[in-house]
Amino acid sequence: MAAAYDPFSTDAMRDPHPIYKELRAEGCPHFVKERRAWALTLFDDLKKASLCNRWLDFSAGQTPAQLMLGEPVPHTFMTMNVPDNRKWRGLLEPFYGAGAVKRETPRLQAIIADELAPLRQQDRFDVYHAFANQVMCINAGYNLGVSREMAIQARNLIDRMILNRVPGQVGASTPDSQQAAGELMHLLMQHVAAMRADPDAGGPQGKVLRDAVIDGARLSDEDLLFYLFSLLVVGSETTPMAVAGTMYYLAQNPEQKAMVLANHDLLGAAFRETLRFDQPTNMLARRAAMDFDLNGAQIKSGDNLLFIYASANRDADRFDNPDRFDITRENSSDLSFGMGAHFCLGASLALTAGDLMLRAIFAQIDDYEVIEEECERAFGEHLNGFIRMVIRPRWK
């Protein structure tokens, strides 16, 4: 009998992995009739669909709530189909390649050092909010010409919009989230005005977007605002979750924590395993652009598609003992950054920044413990992971 599944149910948003296991056991995409959606939970199904651009329409949004609840869709390269996606994404690709990230490493290290220094005065701290989230939102702000203070203010508003969900709530819209959205749009529109008035404003990436002409078109103020919003969101959310998760799962596996404490070169592998084991981007959503067959599922044009990466990364046909956190496993074939034309633009940055932040912490501690009762996970259908991860470090 087919499993009962709704991505917006409390059980699925609190801990989806038990039901993902049931869905994978069906051996094919699972149809959610009330959402007109297909849940793709198997690694090979996600891989095949991701690599077939003609099957997919990205313009309806990229989160489940955008496609199925009608929440607003920011118009950026993230919600464009090929070839427009390639043209606008191509403007930013030079900033995110491995070589570019390597050149930015000293600046990243300086931000990390600045944010970690005051934490050494504390006997415990929140790895997500007080450190990793701060680092990544400051970095995203730099790229858009946004000050440290404004970047943190914007990130706090984003958290109120996205991460303050409660059981029983379907969709992100509440009076508080709507108020936060209004305050954030006002803040970002002020920055757009400053970018229009001053040719030197906007940071390296913001200036490229502001000045770009693609097929004779420039970004409007509203378009530019959407880019600022989207880049601040994706640039400061999932990587901090994975850093926090790495600290948590190492603490849960003392023998692996001991390995990392003895050899910091293993931190990159620990971070990558966290991405597989507790994938921050639980799922993204697409819409079928045509009729097609996928592993026995007769998908129709206009159907919603749930690309459930968190499930694919625990597919037993792809990973041995997938429900075990194991920093020694080979993770080169996971789907943590997606695949195909919409492969995560910031993959190199995420891997580098995650490793740098973890190395910075471990360089200054002899050991640590997680204060479990003070930890909190995101509650929602789109994102997985810790949004509060409090540790008690034993500083050197």
Give pLDDT, residue 161: 87
Assigned domain for 349 exists: yes
pLDDT in tens, 282-336: 999 999 999 999 999 999 999 999 999 999 999 999 999 999 999 999 766 899 9
Task: Say how many domains are in the chain.
Answer: 1
Give pLDDT, residue 174: 80
Assigned domain for 78 exists: yes
Give pLDDT, residue 332: 63
Assigned domain for 377 exists: yes
Assigned domain for 148 exists: yes
Give pLDDT, residue 1: 59
Q: CA distances (Å), 199 to each of 92, 204, 222, 224, 315, in order?
A: 18, 11, 18, 15, 50
Amino acid at 26: E
Assigned domain for 5 exists: no
Q: Kindly report the CATH number assigned to the domain that includes residue 97.
A: 1.10.630.10
Give pLDDT, residue 331: 63
Assigned domain for 1 exists: no
Give pLDDT, residue 172: 75
Give pLDDT, residue 297: 97
SS (H, E, C) the chain: CCCCCCCCCHHHHHCCHHHHHHHHHCCCCEEEHHHCEEEECCHHHHHHHHCCHHHEECCCCCCHHHHHCCCCCCCCHHHCCCCHHHHHHHHHHHHHCHHHHHHHHHHHHHHHHHHHHHHHHCCCEEHHHHHHHHHHHHHHHHHCCCCHHHHHHHHHHHHHHHCCCCCCCCCCCCHHHHHHHHHHHHHHHHHHHHHHHCCCCCHHHHHHHHHCCECCECCCHHHHHHHHHHHHHHCCCHHHHHHHHHHHHHHHCHHHHHHHHHCHHHHHHHHHHHHHHCCCECCEEEEECCCEEECCEEECCCCEEEECHHHHCCCCCCCCCCCCCCCCCCCCCCCCCCCHHHCCCCHHHHHHHHHHHHHHHHCCEEEEEECHHHCEECCCCCECCEEECEEEEEEC
Assigned domain for 3 exists: no
Q: What are the residues whose beta carbons fall under 8 Å from the beta carbon of 221, sequence distance 6 or more?
A: 189, 192, 193, 196
Q: What is the pTM of this model?
A: 0.96
- Which stretches of the chain score pLDDT less than 70? 1, 331-332
Give pLDDT, residue 355: 98
Segments forming the whole domain that contains residue 174: 10-395
Assigned domain for 82 exists: yes
pLDDT in tens, 324-346: 999 999 766 899 999 998 999 99
